[in-house]
């Protein structure tokens, strides 16, 4: 499999936010979200065998939480699924961050899927969510909407209701998009949508969702890689 980086840091998003986590970042993505903060994953990557990945994960321990991210890890599904099986057998808790555009039905149910639904503000990636993936969601999973503006918020609110996401997944994440060229300041000024505005909308609506800030962008400078 082709990886960009493999490192230990703190989980920045989802209901696992704040926990130590080992990140396995896969190379390559077939989408081009307007606000993508991982464009350095689009090309390149270094080849790894499954044994090498497991050896590096174990060397970063003790830490039993591993996230597969990218890029889009599901583009390397033939290598990824056996790796998931092996790590589950070794007692790891696994997460995958995925765009939701690739089929997810073969991902082991024990893996916590953090599945994006791309909103209009994602530009060319908007509406790329594969609707068949709704059937693959379990209470272990969380559905994430990255929001750039009010139109995105209303899209997310409607999508949650239309597809009864609360009955399908364990949680809904609303995450403000970040500027592609943020200042080095570790502040919300780098968010495209002010989190305070988003929280006010959530309060007005009484929406049952979790504000998801990428806390690594407040702990370190927003453009720092490998954290």
Task: Return residues touching ligand SF4 (CB under 6 A).
Answer: 29, 31-33, 36, 38, 41, 70-72, 99, 125
| Nearest distance, CB of residue 227 and ligand SF4, angstroms | 17
Residue closer to ligand SF4 (CB basis): 111 or 214: 214
| Nearest distance, CB of residue 122 and ligand SF4, angstroms | 7
Q: Compute the distance between CA of residue 9 and CA of residue 66 in angstroms, rounded to an integer.
A: 10
Residue closer to ligand SF4 (CB basis): 102 or 210: 102
Cα-Cα-Cα-Cα dihedral of 198, 202, 203, 206, to 10°? 180
Q: Compute the distance between CA of residue 45 and CA of residue 53 in angstroms, rounded to an integer.
A: 13
| Nearest distance, CB of residue 41 and ligand SF4, angstroms | 6
3-class state of residue 125 by DSSP: helix
Q: Compute the distance between CA of residue 94 and CA of residue 88 in angstroms, rounded to an integer.
A: 7
User: Which helix (DSSP H) or strand (DSSP E) does residue 68 occupy?
Assistant: strand 65-69
Residue closer to ligand SF4 (CB basis): 41 or 175: 41
What's the DSSP call for residue 137? -
| Nearest distance, CB of residue 32 and ligand SF4, angstroms | 5
Contact indicator for 15, 211 with CB cutoff of 8 Å: no
Q: Compute the distance between CA of residue 81 and CA of residue 97 in angstroms, rounded to an integer.
A: 14
| Nearest distance, CB of residue 145 and ligand SF4, angstroms | 13
Residue closer to ligand SF4 (CB basis): 38 or 223: 38
Residue closer to ligand SF4 (CB basis): 4 or 94: 4
Residue closer to ligand SF4 (CB basis): 32 or 55: 32
Q: Is 206 left (phi over 0), alpha (psi -120 to 50) or beta?
A: left
| Nearest distance, CB of residue 30 and ligand SF4, angstroms | 7
């Amino acid at each position: 499999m082709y990886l960009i980086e493999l490192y230990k840091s703190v989980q920045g998003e989802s209901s696992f936010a704040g926990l130590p986590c080992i990140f396995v970042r896969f190379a390559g993505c077939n989408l081009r979200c307007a606000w993508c903060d991982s464009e350095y994953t689009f090309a390149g990557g270094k080849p790894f065998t499954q044994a090498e990945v497991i050896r590096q994960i174990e060397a970063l321990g003790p830490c039993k939480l591993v996230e597969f991210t990218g890029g889009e890890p599901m583009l390397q599904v033939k290598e990824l699924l056996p790796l998931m099986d092996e790590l589950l057998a070794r007692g790891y808790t696994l997460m995958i961050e995925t765009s939701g555009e690739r089929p997810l039905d073969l991902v082991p149910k024990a893996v916590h899927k953090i599945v994006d639904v791309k909103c209009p503000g994602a530009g060319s990636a908007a509406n790329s969510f594969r609707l068949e993936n709704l059937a693959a969601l379990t209470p272990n999973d969380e559905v994430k909407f990255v929001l750039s503006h009010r139109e995105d918020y209303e899209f997310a609110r409607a999508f949650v209701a239309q597809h009864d996401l609360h009955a399908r997944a364990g949680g809904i994440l609303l995450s403000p998009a970040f500027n592609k060229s943020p200042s080095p300041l570790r502040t919300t000024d780098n968010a495209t949508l002010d989190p305070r505005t988003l929280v006010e909308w959530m309060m007005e609506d009484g929406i049952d969702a979790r504000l998801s800030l990428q806390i690594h962008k407040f702990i370190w400078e927003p453009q720092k890689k490998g954290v």
